[in-house]
Amino acid sequence: MDKLFNSMMDGEKWFQGYFDDGASFDVTARKVHLWDMPALLLYINGLVDGATLTTLLTEMQGNNEDQMEGDGAERFLSFFPYHAVTPVTDESELLKSILSGQAGFITPEGYVFLIDVRSYPGRQPEEPDNEKVIRGSRDGFTENILTNTALIRRRIRTPDLRFEMHQTTVKGKTDVVIAFMEGAASKDHLKYIRTRLNEIKHDGLTMTDKSLEEWLFKQGFHPMPFVRFTERPDICAAHLLEGHIAIIVDTSPSVILVPITLFYHLQHAEEYRQAPLIGTAVRLIRFTGTFLSLVLLPFWYLLATKQQYLPQLLYYIGPDKIGEVPLLAQLLIADGGIEVLRMAAIHTPTPMSTAMGLVAAIVIGQVAIDVGLFSPEVVLYVAISAILTFAIPSYELSITTKIFRICILLTTAIFGATGFFISIGILFYYLCALRPMGIPYLWPAVPFFPKAMLRVIVRFPMTADAPRPYITESPNRNRIS
């Protein structure tokens, strides 16, 4: 083994060159004794497990010289009472490891060793608020990347499960793990992700997973989400077994799943916690609700303003009296108002959020109707559209649906029925043109795969033979061992 420094003093000067002595209170360099040998201990206070480090130092205070073998590096390693100890011969690797939470020892001869005693601050696994289920596990990902990999490993106990560590950005050195099943994940997709990770030359990913999504897929101003985010380990494990790839970013409780299509954003774990027939019914209701959340408000506006299109059975559609405020303005104000209320509920302290919601929904809504700002039908249909939007499992897709709904509404107001159908056609064409990672975004609807589309609509029993999805480009699509 080669020495990294000429002496312990040279190692101390190197460390102080990066961290001025006393400039950062959490940067620690202490001279300790390991048995009869002096050593320099380097670590970041707050990122190491203090109890474990203290126990190790305590155990190495006795005189065990007669039991130690060799000299120099071999002598150090032969009796070190810890399992995770590795020698280091590169300065950049040493600096990176210390900043990641490992502790380093420099011997008098200049040999350097790292011990993994990382203990990142964070919360315990708990059920994510935006992916709750009636039945099922209550654990969820946390901001600790080691905890997240352990939650997945607990569900997939096979050596084929790989966790490939990468570090991105120049200064942030963000830890990113690519998780995949060997033999199930596409080698081309893995190569694509590795190449994009290596191309990131930014100083840091402060927004972690979302920033990484934009770097990986060059999202630009596309409103559609190109990846699926999940905070549930069971969902992540299920996708890995299907041949998908998971990207875990340190400090983020959300895991990125690729490749995906539009229909993956409409899946929910609850469908697989119920009987196949019930799961199918829930899925169809969700699909219907998603479509109505997009077109219900513009379609009602079209019928309310173009009474000649109404059949006799639907004569009641449309307000009897529009009032002083134009109908389009009422819809835009009401729809935007609900979005403001949603943001207010998120930023309001939990004990006050319920009261704020009741005041906004009952008092403000009723007063707006009484003073003539809104007609009752406008409030009704805007509220129905909002409820349908909240039924979309993916938060990113729900926000995108609202934007598209406003666009269709404005086009309908300008061009009438022609604008309504043309805007839907343009939206459909736009979705067909999207191909993140070379995967058609509307697969299996476009291009049409009958069997795969049937599995999208129907929740088949788990005992049914289900090959891995075609879009994963898995080298082995057979899931039955």
Q: What are phi and psi of 377, to 5 degrees?
A: -65, -35
Q: What is the pLDDT of residue 72?
A: 58
The rounded radius of gyration (Å) of the Cα atoms in the chain is 29
Q: What is the pLDDT of residue 170?
A: 83
Q: What is the pLDDT of residue 62?
A: 66
Q: Write the burial class of residue 138 (CB in 10 Å: 0-12 exposed, 13-18 middle, 19+ buried).
A: exposed
Element (H, E) at 243: none
Q: What is the pLDDT of residue 63?
A: 61
Q: What is the pLDDT of residue 352?
A: 64
Residue with tokens 């460390």: 15
Q: List, for residues 398-448, the tens digit of each pLDDT value.
A: 999 999 999 999 999 999 999 999 999 999 999 999 999 999 999 999 999
Dihedral Cα 110, 111, 115, 120, nearest 10 deg: 40
Q: What is the pLDDT of residue 95?
A: 92
Q: What is the pLDDT of residue 287?
A: 95
DSSP per residue over 37-76, as a string?
EEEEEEEETTTB-HHHHHHHHHHTSS--GGG--SSHHHHH
The pTM (predicted TM-score) of the whole model is 0.87
Q: What is the pLDDT of residue 187?
A: 95
Residues of the chain with pLDDT under 50: none
Q: Angle, nearest 10°, between helix axes 376-390 and 276-305?
A: 150
Q: What is the pLDDT of residue 65?
A: 54
User: Shortest CA distance to 164 belongs to which of 146, 176, 152?
Assistant: 176
Dihedral Cα 44, 91, 194, 197, nearest 10 deg: 60
Q: What is the pLDDT of residue 134?
A: 85
The DSSP secondary-structure symbol of 320 reads: S
